[in-house]
Amino acid sequence: MASSPESARSRKTEPVLITDAAISLREEHAARKRRYLITMIVRALSLVAAAVVYTTTHILWLVLVFAFLGTVLPWIAVVMANDGPPKSKQNVSRYRPERTLDNPARPAIEGSRIIEG
């Protein structure tokens, strides 16, 4: 099927929509820093809340919950900050053409043995 030169020119002027483009490294780094900062703010607030709850109400289970969050959130923040974007799934062709070991174009050498299995 042949196409005319006019149709080729009209196709070039159409905008290209890129939906699978990855975000820039600068934007990704900024997003990870924001996520780290938010997690660490929540950690600080939970430690302050643990101290306030302990001094005012003495509800032990609530103090332990806030203290646990204050202890675990730094680890979670670091893991989330170091985590990059998910790797794209590549369509890998697993097809392998059948390979032959002998070359029919090459003549057999006299005195060579052919092992058939």
Torsion of CA 72, 76, 79, 80, to 10 degrees: -170
| Helices (H) then strands (E): counts for the chain | 3, 0
Domains of the chain: which residue ranges? 25-82
Query: Mapping DSSP to helix (H, G, I), strand (E, B) and coil, where does residue 94 land?
Result: coil
The pLDDT assigned to 34 comes to 94
pTM equals 0.56
Question: What confidence tens digit (pLDDT) does each residue in 59-101 have?
Answer: 999 999 999 999 999 999 999 888 877 666 666 666 666 665 6
